[in-house]
Amino acid sequence: MPFQPAAHDGVAHCFSPGLLAFEHRPANASAATNTNVLIWVGGLGDGLLTVPYPTAIASKLPPNWILAQPLLSSSYAGWGTSSLVRDADELAQCVKYFRERRGPGAKIVVMGHSTGCQDAIEYVSSPSDPSAAASRTPLDAVILQAPASDRQAMLQSLGKASFDAANDVARQYVEDGRGEDVLPFRVTEKDFKKTPISARRWLALASPDKKGADDFFSDDLPDESLKKTFGAVPKGLGVCVLYSGSDEFCPSSVDKGGLVRRWSGFVKEAGGVWEEEFGGVVPGATHNLKGSSETVVSDLCRRVVGFLQKVEKGEAAHL
């Protein structure tokens, strides 16, 4: 999906001081009242329109759905000193904003991309503080697109020696009471250029002990970890996983289909509604679909729209 210079019509919603959500208004948008909301949350380094496929999804949504993309404190380079909990709390303000304006009958779905998938899980499960999830405005469903492991992606990119060395520096910062201090760029710039990253956030992502606050999707996590994430979703929540079949950040050793099936067991046990028809591995899809063919992009859009239609009918979620 190559870059196309273009103007994008839309509406900016200021849902909290300093935070806004951009509602896409594609050229083919209907004049009908838009009731339901798909909130799209990007990954590390993402901001407004940095990932192209949400625009394609917005153009194919049914007339009673909109796609809104929030800009959180962690957007662009802000993620390096932020956290999933902060993301989820800010996202909760966005959900509350649209819920109050759309009414109790509206369907609200959060779609995460990459680390945005962790935000979605943090919102509904909150592994570090389950009571926090219970206090947030309920969602009808979540979609996880490209839920790759940050730890395994970083290890693949850096190599074990550099990965271990970076973790040692970050650990020392934390032990010295400097967890919120930014690590030297010589430690972090190979993967993240000049993005300021605190020692705490680095360890949350790198998760050298497999207990990092951001480590939800690695394929070597024990059952006890998955019970706190996929196994803690609210009863009746619709869950659709769209794992990119050609995700360049996912090690070739990962059995994508097997991993998705493993997650499904925890969701079902928790009483969530696992999406079988449209969910699963998306053949040919890269991490954010840049470089993917139009056929692959269309397939992703078809899956998202199909799932949302089931959510609207009550077939993919029940509150």
> Where do the structural domains in the chain lie, given as residue ranges?
10-149+221-313, 154-206
pTM of the model as a whole: 0.95
pLDDT at 183 (0 to 100): 97
Contact 288, 250 (CB under 8 A): no
Local confidence band at 104 (pLDDT 50, 70, 90 cut-offs): confident
- pLDDT higher than 70, residue 26: yes
Q: Please tell me the CATH superfamily of domain 10-149+221-313, with its number.
A: Alpha/Beta hydrolase fold, catalytic domain (3.40.50.1820)
The predicted pLDDT at position 149 comes to 98
At residue 318 the predicted structure's pLDDT band, cuts being 50, 70 and 90, is low
The pLDDT mean for the chain works out to 94
Distance between CA atoms of 234 and 306, rounded to whole angstroms? Answer: 22
Tell me what percent of the residues of the chain surpass a pLDDT of 70. 96
Dist CA 116 CA 219 (whole Å) = 18
Cα 14 to Cα 227: distance, rounded to the nearest angstrom: 35
Binned at pLDDT 50, 70 and 90, residue 27 comes out as low
Which of the pair, 201 or 128, is modelled with greater confidence?
A: 201
Residues near 34 by Cβ (< 8 Å), separated by ≥ 6?
63, 64, 65, 66
* Distance (Å, whole) CA 27 – CA 218: 40
Q: Using 50, 70 and 90 to split pLDDT, how confident is the model at 293?
A: very high
Looking at residue 65, its pLDDT comes to: 95
49: nearest Cα among 316, 288, 294, 226: 288
